[in-house]
Amino acid sequence: MSRAKPATDPLIALLQSKLPESIVVADPVSMKPYECDGLSGYRQMPRVVVLPQSVEQVQAVMKICQETSTPIVPRGAGTSLSGGAMPHKDGVVLSVARLNRILHIDAQNRTATLQPGVRNLQISDAVQHLDLYYAPDPSSQIACTIGGNVAENAGGVHCLKYGLTVHNILQVKMVGLDGELVTFGSTALDTPGYDLLALMMGSEGMLGMIVEVVVRLLTRPRVARVLMAAFDDIEKAGNAVAGVIAAGVIPAGFEMMDQAAIQAAEDFVKAGYPTDAAAILLCELDGTEEEVITQIGKAETLLASAGATEISLAGNESERARFWSGRKNAFPAMGRISPDYYCMDGTIPRKELGNVLTRISRLSEKYGLRVANVFHAGDGNLHPLILYDANQPGEFDKAEEFGGEILDLCVAVGGTITGEHGVGVEKIDRMCVQFDRASLAQFQAVRDAFDPDGLLNPDKAVPTLARCAEFNAMHVHHGELPHPELERF
């Protein structure tokens, strides 16, 4: 894979002298796939890509980078939607692609020890025979890696009931910039000292390179059934979500699709969605047979009283799969109706769902760009998809501006600029809207504690105060406070 060019670059020469030739990739053709991640609007060719096959090789690369002051960009499968794995022009992309072995499965304690490049879905596949699974299920789960999941604190459809990555990880081994291996967490439920394991979750590659992860496995629920409820009004659907959860029913997954998304998905996979509905909800309940029957009954009553125009229960496993197929294929379905789409990711209090969706559709008119909503309604985690055409000059900029306004709106109603996709390069300026100066400086101080030289995934996730000053000077806040008041989040 690596056709080592005679290294005129001293860094590449140094890496090649210390590491097997096959793991140092430096020719432009082989490096091309690393130029971007899932956020393809942002591109940068790396200086060199290294694909370590052992922890020792990771340690060697980290040491070389520290000695030569070279930026390091850790990379899982490159499915990030926020540019978290976008290369640095002077830096090394450190990929976990070849650290992809399942090291150990402990059936009794229900844990799995994994190298960071093990794919999310691969975990559940490997323990299926034990009737176990790994719960967090980001939509990229076929491809995304557990190392990337930890770095982003990945979510998914089922985190409403089963938690985020942070709730399902017991231990992480990390190689620091100094090349030292350190273990956070353990197979016990807590460890002495600070909970640095929790700090690793969503740390976006700024603290070190993850080289091993121990995940918690759950017993597969006996039964899972899904309800589909249609609404003639999107606000009613939003309120129905809040109502069901408020009544104490916690679905395993609770997803919403708006009219545009329903139509596109229906055209694509024929999921049996009512195309005349303003919104549909997919509400999955799991547990024992008896439990699910009672919960389904409760949920049906609640959805009906919230104004559902139609409620259907998937009668069997194939119908359940069909109901979900529309949701799971919603993104590719969008790809069929628009040359490009820009996926946003804000979280808001559930009670604001109706209000925010209405305001997004007004913004859609303002920008003249279509928008479709497919999202984790139960968590209040929005994914507005802004449809645009990158070949039309200025359309991407317009889409970005539209997206930015949506994120400002999320913050204004008490939410956040990112629920599960991370800040990366994409939302770094929006951090200045969500956090005040002291908090941003505190984040920077924590970053410095792990990486005094500023080499780990630089220029991402945490903005410098100077950057914020520049952004705030240019950014119009639509009459809203740029910073939350002290007592509010």
Rule CB under 8 A: is residue 449 a binding residue for other proteins?
Answer: yes
**Cβ 189 to other proteins, closest distance in Å?**
5
**Cβ 387 to other proteins, closest distance in Å?**
24
* Interface region with other proteins, contact rule CB under 8 A, candidates 263-271, 284-292, 336-344, 355-363: 284-292
Rule CB under 8 A: is residue 305 a binding residue for other proteins?
Answer: no
For residue 341, the SS3 value is strand
**Cβ 381 to other proteins, closest distance in Å?**
5
**Cβ 281 to other proteins, closest distance in Å?**
16
Which of 372-375's residues contact partners 24+ apart within 8 Å by CB, and which partners? 372/258, 372/260, 372/261, 372/264, 372/330, 372/334, 372/341, 373/256, 373/257, 373/258, 373/260, 373/261, 374/255, 374/256, 374/257, 374/258, 374/261, 374/265, 374/327, 374/330, 374/331, 375/255, 375/256
* Interface region with other proteins, contact rule CB under 8 A, candidates 12-20, 24-32, 104-112, 355-363: 104-112
- Kindly write out the interface string for residues 327-366 of this chain, putting x where it contacts other proteins by CB under 8 A and - elsewhere: --------------------xxxxx---------------
Strand stretches in 362-424, DSSP E: 371-375, 381-382, 384-388
Q: Read off φ and ψ for residue 425, nearest 5 degrees.
A: -90, -25
Q: Which is nearer to other proteins, 6 or 192 (CB)?
A: 192
**Cβ 103 to other proteins, closest distance in Å?**
15
What does 22-90 look like in DSSP terms, one character per residue?
GGEE-SHHHHGGGS--S-TTS----SEEE--SSHHHHHHHHHHHHHHT--EEEESSS--SSSTT---TT
Q: Read off φ and ψ for residue 65, nearest 5 degrees.
A: -65, -40
**Cβ 90 to other proteins, closest distance in Å?**
25
What is d(CA 103, CA 115) in angstroms, rounded to the nearest whole number? 7
Contacts to other proteins from residues 142-201, by CB under 8 A: 152-153, 155, 159-160, 163-164, 166-167, 176, 180-184, 186-196, 198-199, 201
Identify which of 102, 109, 80, 100 has the alpha carbon closest to the alpha carbon of residue 170.
109
* Interface region with other proteins, contact rule CB under 8 A, candidates 3-11, 49-57, 301-309, 438-446: 438-446
What is d(CA 279, CA 234) in angstroms, rounded to the nearest whole number? 6
Q: Which is nearer to other proteins, 276 or 453 (CB)?
A: 453
- Kindly write out the interface string for residues 246-275 of this chain, putting x where it contacts other proteins by CB under 8 A and - elsewhere: xxx-x-------------------------
Residue bearing tokens 């016990």: 188
Q: What token pair was written down for 126? A: 């490997």
Identify which of 235, 477, 175, 449 has the alpha carbon closest to the alpha carbon of residue 361.
235
Residue 275 and residue 262 in contact, taking contact as beta carbons nearer than 8 Å: yes
**Cβ 164 to other proteins, closest distance in Å?**
7
CB atoms under 10 Å from CB of 235, counted, come to 17
Q: Which is nearer to other proteins, 119 or 421 (CB)?
A: 421
- At a CB cut-off of 8 Å and minimum separation 6, what does 374 contact? 255, 256, 257, 258, 261, 265, 327, 330, 331, 383, 385
Contacts to other proteins from residues 378-437, by CB under 8 A: 379-381, 414-423, 427, 431, 434-436
**Cβ 256 to other proteins, closest distance in Å?**
15
Contacts to other proteins from residues 26-65, by CB under 8 A: none
Rule CB under 8 A: is residue 442 a binding residue for other proteins?
Answer: yes
Q: Which is nearer to other proteins, 268 or 450 (CB)?
A: 450
Among 404, 446, 472, 475, indicate the residue that binds other proteins (CB under 8 A): 446
Query: Residues binding other proteins: what is the number (CB under 8 A)?
Result: 94
**Cβ 79 to other proteins, closest distance in Å?**
15
Q: Which is nearer to other proteins, 250 or 311 (CB)?
A: 250
Contacts to other proteins from residues 106-145, by CB under 8 A: 108-111, 131
Residue 199 and residue 186 in contact, taking contact as beta carbons nearer than 8 Å: no
**Cβ 464 to other proteins, closest distance in Å?**
14
For residue 101, the SS3 value is coil
What stretch of H or E contains 198? helix 196-200
Contacts to other proteins from residues 202-221, by CB under 8 A: 202-203, 219, 221
* Interface region with other proteins, contact rule CB under 8 A, candidates 7-15, 57-65, 243-251, 362-370: 243-251
Q: Which is nearer to other proteins, 5 or 104 (CB)?
A: 104
Residue bearing tokens 């969605």: 273
Q: Which is nearer to other proteins, 112 or 164 (CB)?
A: 164
